[in-house]
Structures are given as C-alpha cells and as structure tokens.
Structure 1
Amino acid sequence: MHYVSAEGLTKSYGINPLFKNISFHINEGDKIALIARNGVGKSTLLRILAGAETPDSGKLWIHKDVTVALFEQDPKFDEYKSVLENIFHLQHPVIKAIRAYEAAVEAEDGARIAETIDVMNELGAWEFEAKVKQILGRLNIHHLQHRVSDLSGGQRKRVALAKTLIDLGFEHQHTLLMMDEPTNHLDVEMIEWLEHYLSAENVTLLLVTHDRYFLDAVCDEIWELERENMYVYKGDYENYMEKKAARIESEQASIDKARNEYRKELEWMRKQPKARTTKSKSRQDNFYDIEAKAKQKIEDAQLQLQMKMNRLGGKIIEMKKVYKSFGDLVILKGFDHTFSKGERVGIIGKNGVGKSTFLNILQQLEPADSGKINVGETVVFGNFSQQGLVIKEDMRVIEYVKTFAESFPLAKGGSLSAAQFLELFLFPPDKQYTYLSSLSGGEKKRLQLLTILFRNPNFLILDEPTNDLDLPTLAVLESFLSEYQGCVLIVSHDRYFMDRLVDHLFVFEGEGAVRDFPGNYTQYRIWLKEQEDKGNAVPVKQQQQPVKEAVAETPAPVAKKKMSFKEKREFEMLEKEMPQLEAEKQAVAEKMSAGNLPFDELSKLSARMQEITDLLEEKEFRWLELSEMTE
C-alpha cells in the first residue's frame, strides 16, 4: 500500500533554504532512517509530514486511510494531568478500560478492580493489557499517578515513548510512525529492547537517530538531506558511507569536466560577433548551462577539532576507598582506582545507579561520604555534561564564546580568534550573530563542545555526548578522541561510540558495586551472554575485583558464518517452541475473556500472559539471530 508521496517540497527560514524541490515516496512496511547535519531540516520535514508545519511550495499526498504519528525530541504533554492520563489519552474502548483498570490497581481499590475486570473481560482486553505492561515495564515507568510536570527530562522522554508505542497498537490499522531521536535518555537495555520491538512489529517507520547500531538493526533504507537535496541509499550505514563517497567522487568528476568545457566555450563566446545565427544562439544558451554546472561547489565542510592540550603530569587522579550514598541508595562502596595518562574509560549501568554522581565526585563538585580523592595539580577538567549550555541571559553566539576568551591557542602553534574558531565548528559569520535561543538542539551541543575545548582540558568527561549531535559531527568527534593524548571518561548509551573509543568499562551494577571490565561494550555483552549460557549468575563484585578471566574469554566480535551442531539443534527447538507458546498465549487470552473467573485465578493468568509475552520476545530475537547465519 502506498502511504506518502511528496513532489518538489521546499522549505526555508528567512534566506536560508533547508531543502529545495525534494521528492520521495513511502510505502507500507518501509523502515527509513533520515540523516543530515544539525540545522538542515530533519525535524522540520517530520513536522511537515505530520501536518504541524507547511512547506513553502510543493505537493504532499498522504493516503486517506493512513494515520501519521510523530514522536518528537521535545514531547508535548498535558502538564497538570497524571502519567496515566497522558499515556492512555485515546478514547478507544480498550484504552479506556485499561486506564480504569491500571488506576484501580495502583489505588489498591478492590471494588473498582472487580468492576474494571468485568469490563476488561467483556472487551477481551487482557492481551492488550499484557502488551501495555511490557512496554511500561521495559521503559521503567511506574507511579502512574504522578503529574507529568514533576518528571525529569529523561522520565518525560520515556513516558512520551510509551505513549507513542501504546497508541501504535490502538490507532488506525495503517500508521506511519515517525520518531525523532527515540534513543535519547534510554539506557542500553531499553535501546536494545526498542530496536527488537520495532524490528518485530509490522510498522512503517521514518526515523531520525544518531545511534548507528540502532539504525542498522531497525532500518533498511537511508535518506540524507544535504545541500538542499535529498539522496536515497538502500542498505545499512556502512553501505551508505561507501555509496556517498562514490557519489561525491562522481559529482566532482562531472564538475571538473564541465569546467574544462566551460573554458573552451568561454573563449568561443568572447570571439563571437554581436549578430548571432540560430545555431550560435543555441550554443550560447548551452553555455550558460555549462557555466552553472562548472561553478558548482561540493561543500562537504567538516567540523575541525584541534587544540593545544595542557601538559598532564605523572600524578593524575587517585580514588581510595570512596563511599557515597543517598539514604538507602548506595552509589559507591569502597571504590578504588588510579587513573593513568591516556586512559579511556566507558561508564555503563542502568539509569539511576549513580553514574552522574560519580562524575561529580571525581571532579570534586560533590563530596564523597568518606575516602580520599587526590587530583593532580596539572589536571584540567573539560566537562561535557547533559545539562547543556549554561547561560544567564540570551546573547549572540560570538558574544557567548568571548566570555571564555578572545583567542584560542592551536596544537601546532599560533592562535585563532573567537570568530575563526567558531568557523572551525561550522558556525559561519552570519550564524555567529544568531541568538543562542534560535539555535537547534544539535547546534547548541556543538557550541557546548567548542566552549569546553576552548579551555584546553587534559581530562575530558563526556556525559551522554552523542545526544542531539548529528552523525557527521559524531564521526569527527570520534576521530579527534581516538588521537587525544589526555584522559577520557565517557558515559554513553551509544554502543557504537563506546566500542570505538574505550579501553575498559566501569559497570555500575547497583548497591555500590562497580565492575572494572577490560574491554569495550560489545565485548562485555558477549562475556555476559557466555556467563548466562554456562548457567553462571554474574555475581555483584566490588570494582577492585575485576573480571580477570574476561580477557581470555572475550574475543573480538566476529560474525559467525555457519551454525554449530548445538546452534542447529537450538534453532530446530525454537521453531517448535514458538508455535506452542503462541497457542498457549491464545488459550490464556480466551480464558481471561470468558468473564467467569475468580480474581485470584485471573491474576495468575495475567501474570502467565506476561511471562509468555516475554518468553516469545526472547525466543523470537534468538531465532532471528540464528536465522541470519548461513548453513
């Protein structure tokens, strides 16, 4: 089924065109990633498709039976209503029944629970309720009666995501789901669950994301907005990079050819008499076409990162027997570590286990309960925090940068003025006089990075640096950090970014335990899976007891070409078990819908429905992994 057609769409803000005369089509089942530099119109295009903005010109056709759902970076809520009311906002009978049931359960009101169970039975809503519980559980959404206005930024993002996914199950049968950076503020386990959920669901998707593993897992087509045009690439991110490089090379060769022809035609034009023949008039018209092509420029401006790092002495940071708690929440319990020059550490763990608190303690912005933290005299911190730009009042970009310094020393000698340094960060002169409030989220992140490097730090702390940064900027940041001589500490849910840069991990496991794992994120997940396959529960250990055996047991991630005998047997068992679980799920749903069961039995069936749903999800994911191996 054909969902969307666009012809000649154009959109500008003032004199700056975002895109010009772009055309595209979306069909049912398409899963498309939209990528571009910050500020060139990704979010605007999504809002145009959602009907929240209008193009300057062009035609947009959306099938009358298609519902367009947009998950935005800055979600909109009814601030004074509860989480429950915002998530279950649709007036669909099943949604209304689930909303009433969840409210009764949270209030522990036995009479209301009995009433809502009757309604749930009549509507056969238990399977939907199990799916809703799965979404809320996976996104760690509890306390449904809390007001949305009291939530943190990360909690708001997760509630908005839950609302979008639940709506997807109850909206019109044909839905185009558009998602703008859905992985921001999710921990790694949530991201992995979401990519599996979107891959398994029969959903038509247009996705903006900076997470390359997520992009490859979910999408099979990439659209790029560049130089006011749109380019379409089939396949994964690696294929896109190869095809883009070939396209730019081809375009450059075509421009070079036009320039050679232009020089010849220009000489002919100068020699021609004023009276033109029909033949020469045709050649003259053709000259202007050649001239336009010859004067094209392929501007592939790259963010440039270069800095003169402050000298880092022999003593960097020592943390000895550090303890930190907030009431019953234990963050650190006897943490020990001595940082060495050039060390690159990744920090992972679920939301709320104290990663950001650890960074504050390290920088002595927050006191530890006990223990010693000795920071070397030569250490200069550069803190790229989730807080973003800190400004007392709105000001122009150039004015803001000059509050730090008028000039910037370079690694190879010499210095740059604030204006020149801004140009290296892709802020041209006209953009430098823009007010900070007018910048896009990604441009603010880029400016934040600039102000940190302006101070020449030798110990970089990056707390979720990939949020809101575009893929081209991320690629340059990765290259810069890979050559950086100082220490780097990274908290990130971007697995690709982490894999490229870190030497070892601090894994925050909860209850104050921090595991020092010698490897990157993918290697850690492989080790974790091996422990599970062996039936070994991974014990919670203190940081000073690192996983020594992991060095030997953790190979570099290599795709398997053939299934082993054990894997073939597992694959065959999965193909038998999955239909059995589906049949049991159907039988449980029918029992729950019968309407004649006591509350205790209904509760047991509801719990079993959740278990079956989780089991099916796990087995489907494993089946997909095995099915991709060649026999």
Structure 2
Amino acid sequence: MHYVTVEGLTKTFGAGPLFKDISFHIEEGDKIALVALNGAGKSTLLRILCGQESPDAGTVWIHKDVTVVMLEQQSAFEPGKSISENIFSQSHPVLAAIRDYEILTDDEEGEPDIDKLTKAIERMDELNAWHFDSKVKQILGKLNIHHLDQKMGSLSGGQLKRVALAKVLIDIGFEHRHTLLIMDEPTNHLDVSMIEWLENYLDQENVTLLLVTHDRYFLDSVCNEIMEIDQQQLFIYKGDYENYLEKKATREEQDRASVEKARNVFRKELEWIRKQPKARTTKSKSRIDAFEDVKERASVRLEKQQLELNVKMTRLGGKIIELKKVYKSFGDLKILKGFDYTFKKGERVGVVGKNGVGKSTFVNMLLGLEQPDSGKINTGETVVFGNYDQRGLIVKEDMRVIEFVKNIAENFPLADGTKVSAAQFLQLFLFTPEKQYTYISKLSGGEKRRLHLLSILFRNPNFLVLDEPTNDLDLPTLSILEEFLLSYQGCIIIVSHDRYFMDKLVDHLFVFEGGGEVRDFPGNYTQYREWEKDRSEKDKEEARNENKTPEKAVVAAVPVAEAKKMSFKEKRELELLEKDIAALEAEKKEIDAKMGAGDLPYEQLEPLSRRVGEILQLLDEKGLRWLELSEMS
C-alpha cells in the first residue's frame, strides 16, 4: 500500500532554504532513517508530514486510510493530569476500561476495592479488552512506568520521554492498522535495556516508520533505508549505515569531479562573456543562458572539512584523581560502597548502568559538585576539567556564534606550536562562515548542543567528562567528535547509552550494578553485553543443576527463603493467560484446517496467513509470561 508521496517540497527558514524541491515516497512496511546536520531541516520536515507546519512550495499527499502519529523530542503534557490520564487520553471505551483496570491493580502491595475491581473485570470481559491489555502491560513494564496516578508535573525529563513513548506505542497498537509512525530521537533518556527492547518491538511490529536518531546500532537494527538532507537536496540510500557511508563517499567524490569540471568550463565561458559586444545574436544569447547554468553548477560549495587537530593539551601531572573508600547514598539508594580507584594518564572510561543507579552523581563527585558521605577524592593540581553535561548551553542568546567562541579565546593551540583560529575551529564542527554570524537564539536545539560541546573543547581541558554527549547531536557531528576524541591525549569519562559511541572510544567500563556495587569491566560495551549473556546462561545452568536432587539424598532442614507472593493482579493475569493461550491455539488449528483444504482464493488466503504469523508471535509472548508467573505460584 502506498502511504505518502512528497513532490517538490521547499521550506525556507531565516536567510536561506532548509531544503529545496525534494521528492520521495513512503510505502507500507518501510522503515526509514532521516539524517542531516542539525539545522538542516529534519524536524521541520517531520512537522510538515504531520501537518503541524506548511511548506513554502510543493505537495504532501497522504493516503486517506493512513494515520500519522509522531513522537516529538519534547512532548506537551498537562502537568496537572496523571500518567494514566495522559497515556489513555483517547476517548475510546476499550482504553477507558484498560485505564480503570490498570489503576485499580497498580498498587502491588495493597488489595484493590473488590466491588470496583469486579465491575472493571466485567467491563474488560464485555469489551474483549484482555488481549490489548497484555500489550499495554508489556509496554509499561519495559519502559519502567509504574504508579499511574502520579502527576505529570512531578516527573523528570527522562520519565516524561518514556511516558510519551508509551502513549505513542499504545496508540499505534490499538486503533489504527495503517499508521505512519514518526519518531524524533526516540532513544534519548532510555537506558540500554530499554533501547534494545524498543529495537525488537519495532522490528517485530508491522509498523511503517520514519525516524530521526543518532544511535547507529538502533538505526541499523530497525531501518532498511536512509534519507539524507545535504545542501538542501535529498538523497536516498537503501541498506544499512555502513552502506550509506560508502555510497555517500562515492557520491561526494563524483560531486567533486563534476564541480571541478564545471569550474573549468565556467572559466572559459566567463572569458568569452567578457569579450562579447553589447549587441548579441540569438546564437550567442543561448550560449549566455547556458553560461548561467554552468555558473550555478560551478558555484556549488563542497563542504568537506579537511582540518585535523593535533591538540596541545594542558600538561597533566602524575597525580590525576584518586578515590579511596568512597561511600555515597541518598536514603535507601546506595550509589557507592567503599569504591577505590586511581585514574591513569590517557584513560577512556565508559560509565553504564540503568537509569537511577547514580551515574550522574558519581560524575558530579569527580567534578567536586557533590561530596561523598565518607572516604576521600583527591584531585591533582594540574587537572583541568571539561564538563559537558545535559543542562546545555547557558549564554546570552543575543550574541553571535563567533562572538561567543572568541570570548573564550581567539585561537586554539596545536602541538606543533601553531594555532587554529576560532573561525577555523567552528568550521571543523560544521559551522559555515555564514552560520558563524548567526545569533545563538536562531540556532536549532541540536546546533546549540554542538556549540556547547565546541565551547568545552575549545577551552583545552585535559580531563573530559561527557554526560550523554550524543543526545541531540547529528551523525556528521558525532563522526567529527569521535575523530577528535580518538586523537585526544587526556583522560575521558563518558556516560552514555549510545553503544556505538562507547564501543569506538572506551577502553574499559564502570558498570553500576545497583546497591553501591561498581564493576570495573576490561572492554567496551558490546564485549560487556556478550560477557553478561554468557554469565546469565551459566547462572541458569547452575540453577537447573541445583534443582536436580538425587532421589534418595537426605536433605538437611534448611530454612527456605519465602518465594515472592503473587499479587492479586498477577493471579488474575495468570488465569487470563491460560484462557488466551487456549483460544489462540484453537484459532490456529481452525485456520490451519481452512488453509489445508486448498480451495481458498488468494484474497482470503493472504490475510489468514498473516493472522497465523500474528498468532505464533502472541503464543510466544504469552507463553513466556505464563512461565514467569507460574514459577511464582
């Protein structure tokens, strides 16, 4: 099914066009990543497709049966309303029934009001809402969304993003079969386990997707096509991120050859034009018209940055940072428990762990912004920190970009004794000469993040602390940042959920496992995940072996830890799962019989075949959940 056709789209913002005369199509099942520099018009294009903005020229056609759903970077919520009121905001009886049932059973400790619960269950039975409720449970559980009566105004930025994501996934799974899902940086504020779950979810769901993301592993896992906005034009590449890089390099090489050829022709034609008398023949007029075309092609600016920095870093002494028996906690939450470590020159450490285990607190203690409860943190006198945190750029926005950087320093020192000017340094980080004289208030959110990062590096620190540096940065900027950091001689601490970025840069990891425990893992993130999976398999194998007790063995009377008691909600879920599994197996048997008869026309056979696939997936999901719950009963 054909979903979207875009023809001749043009949009101007400020001095020049973001994109000009671009065209593309989206078919059902397409999973497309949109990449471009910050400020090149990615978010604007997404808003045009959603109908939130209008183009200056061109048309957008969307199939009448297709619903466009968008996850924005900053979603608008009513702070006075609860999580449940915001997630289940559609006025539909099934969603209302699920909301009422979920609120009643949300409290895992207390018993719900029996009369209200009975009515809620009857309503769920009446509307046959249990199947969709299991999907809602999965989404809320995986995104760590609990206590649905909390007010939105009390949530952190990361919690708000997860609620927005849950709402979008619930909406597309519920009402609309033909949906174009548009996602702007969906992995921001998600920990790695959530990102991996979202990858699998979007890969399995029959969803048509257009997304903007800086997470290259996520892009590769989810998408099969890449669209790039570059110098106001649109380029389309089939395949993964590696293929995109190869094809883009080939295109740029061809562009350079084409522009160089046009410039040679332009020089000859310019000489001819200057020699022409004022009165011209028809023949010479056609040549003049052709000259204008050559002039336009010859004027194309190839913004391939060749500048490389061999940084003259501030000298780092023998003593860097020593942590001795450091303890830190907030109430019952233990961050560090007797942590010891001594940093060495040139170390590149990644900090990973689930949200809320204390990664940012640890970083703040290194910077001296937080004090430990006990123990010592000794910092060397020569250490110069560069702290790139999530608060972003704090500056007067009526200042031009170049003025802001020059206020830090006029030049950046290199190891060979030479210097790079502020303007050259800005160009390295993809701020064109025109953009350098733009007011900061006119920059996009991603451009401000890029300028913030640049301002940290321009101060020439010898100990970089990067807290989620990849959020809101575009892929070209990330590539430049990675190259810069690979040649950087100082110490680097990186807190990030970007697995690709971590794998490329870090030597070892501090893994915050919770309860104050920090594991020093010798390797990058992918190696850690492989090790963790192996350890998990070994633990399961050991547990299975322990359960195999010899028949006549005499077992000592050892107090057994009390198993986790099933809540009312979990008991009810187990009962419903057994019914659902039986119903699905019966439906599959019935469909198999119909398809095996061999007398069905194609238009009936195709939807039945698709339904069998859906049933098998549901049986897998419900079977796994049944096993989890049955072990608790």
> Which TM bucket (shorter chain)?
0.7 to 0.9
Aligned counterpart for 2:344 among listed residues 340, 344, 349: 340
Contact 2:310 2:487 (C-alpha < 8 Å) held by counterparts = no
Question: How far does residue 453 in structure 1 lie from its aligned partner after superposition?
Answer: 1.5
Distance 1:53 1:494 in 2: 31
Question: How far does residue 16 in structure 1 lie from its aligned partner after superposition?
Answer: 2.0
What is the identity percentage for the equivalent residue pairs of Structure 1 and Structure 2?
Answer: 67
Tell me if 1:48 matches 2:38: no
Give per-residue Cα distances to partners, 1:67-107, cap 9 Å, x unaligned: 00010001111221111100011112211110111122236
Contact 1:462 1:489 (C-alpha < 8 Å) held by counterparts = yes
| Distance verdict in 2 for CA 1:14–1:157, change over 3 Å | same
Give the partner amino acid of 1:445. R
Give per-residue Cα distances to partners, 1:296-338, cap 9 Å, x unaligned: 2322347866643110111111111111111111110111111
User: What corresponds to 2:22 in structure 1?
Assistant: 22
1:516-595 to 2 correspondence within 5 Å? 516-535=520-539, 585-587=580-582
Give the partner amino acid of 2:331. G
User: What corresponds to 1:151 in structure 2?
Assistant: 155
Question: How far does residue 341 in structure 1 lie from its aligned partner after superposition?
Answer: 0.5
Give per-residue Cα distances to partners, 1:451-477, cap 9 Å, x unaligned: 212321111111100000100010111
Distance 1:227 1:257 in 2: 19
| Distance verdict in 2 for CA 1:21–1:583, change over 3 Å | farther
Give the partner amino acid of 1:95. L
Question: How far does residue 30 in structure 1 lie from its aligned partner after superposition?
Answer: 0.5
User: What corresponds to 1:39 in structure 2?
Assistant: 39
**Matched residue of 1:332: which SS?**
strand
User: What corresponds to 1:99 in structure 2?
Assistant: 99
TM-score (norm 1): 0.83
Aligned counterpart for 2:401 among listed residues 397, 405, 416: 397
Distance 1:171 1:223 in 2: 28
Contact 2:397 2:439 (C-alpha < 8 Å) held by counterparts = no
User: What corresponds to 2:75 in structure 1?
Assistant: 75
Structure 2 regions of 5+ residues with no counterpart? 544-576, 587-616, 628-633
User: What corresponds to 2:84 in structure 1?
Assistant: 84
1:434-445 to 2 correspondence within 5 Å? 434-445=438-449
Question: How far does residue 447 in structure 1 lie from its aligned partner after superposition?
Answer: 1.3
Distance 2:30 2:442 in 1: 33
1:287-302 to 2 correspondence within 5 Å? 287-301=291-305
Contact 1:323 1:370 (C-alpha < 8 Å) held by counterparts = yes
Give the partner amino acid of 1:507. V
User: What corresponds to 2:11 in structure 1?
Assistant: 11
**Matched residue of 2:539: which SS?**
coil
Give per-residue Cα distances to partners, 1:410-446, cap 9 Å, x unaligned: 4433445555544443334554454434321211111
Distance 1:617 1:351 in 2: 24
Aligned counterpart for 1:354 among listed residues 353, 358, 365: 358
User: What corresponds to 2:368 in structure 1?
Assistant: 364
Give the partner amino acid of 1:35. V
Give per-residue Cα distances to partners, 1:568-592, cap 9 Å, x unaligned: xxxxxxxxxxxxxx9974426799x
| Distance verdict in 2 for CA 1:610–1:500, change over 3 Å | same
TM-score (norm 2): 0.83
Distance 1:618 1:266 in 2: 78
Contact 1:215 1:237 (C-alpha < 8 Å) held by counterparts = yes
Distance 1:9 1:119 in 2: 48
Aligned counterpart for 1:318 among listed residues 309, 322, 331: 322
Distance 1:117 1:617 in 2: 20
Give the partner amino acid of 1:31. K
Distance 1:216 1:292 in 2: 36
Give the partner amino acid of 2:80. Y
User: What corresponds to 1:138 in structure 2?
Assistant: 142
Distance 1:152 1:111 in 2: 35
User: What corresponds to 1:168 in structure 2?
Assistant: 172
Contact 1:347 1:489 (C-alpha < 8 Å) held by counterparts = yes
Give the partner amino acid of 2:458. F
Distance 1:216 1:296 in 2: 31
Aligned counterpart for 1:248 among listed residues 237, 248, 252: 252
Matched residues, number? 561
Give the partner amino acid of 2:459. R
User: What corresponds to 1:475 in structure 2?
Assistant: 479
Question: How far does residue 617 in structure 1 lie from its aligned partner after superposition?
Answer: 9.6
Contact 2:397 2:440 (C-alpha < 8 Å) held by counterparts = no
| Distance verdict in 2 for CA 1:427–1:290, change over 3 Å | closer
User: What corresponds to 2:458 in structure 1?
Assistant: 454
Distance 1:610 1:145 in 2: 29
| Distance verdict in 2 for CA 1:617–1:247, change over 3 Å | farther
| Distance verdict in 2 for CA 1:415–1:208, change over 3 Å | same
User: What corresponds to 2:621 in structure 1?
Assistant: 613
Question: How far does residue 148 in structure 1 lie from its aligned partner after superposition?
Answer: 0.8
**Matched residue of 1:535: which SS?**
helix
1:103-114 to 2 correspondence within 5 Å? 103-106=103-106, 108-114=112-118
User: What corresponds to 2:429 in structure 1?
Assistant: 425
Distance 2:54 2:202 in 1: 28
Distance 1:112 1:584 in 2: 23
Distance 1:538 1:477 in 2: 44
Q: Which has the higher mean CA deviation after the structures are superposed, 382-391 or 148-157?
A: 382-391
Distance 1:589 1:114 in 2: 25
Q: Which has the higher mean CA deviation after the structures are superposed, 241-250 or 284-293?
A: 284-293
**Matched residue of 1:462: which SS?**
strand
User: What corresponds to 1:377 in structure 2?
Assistant: 381
Give the partner amino acid of 1:499. D
Distance 1:309 1:154 in 2: 35
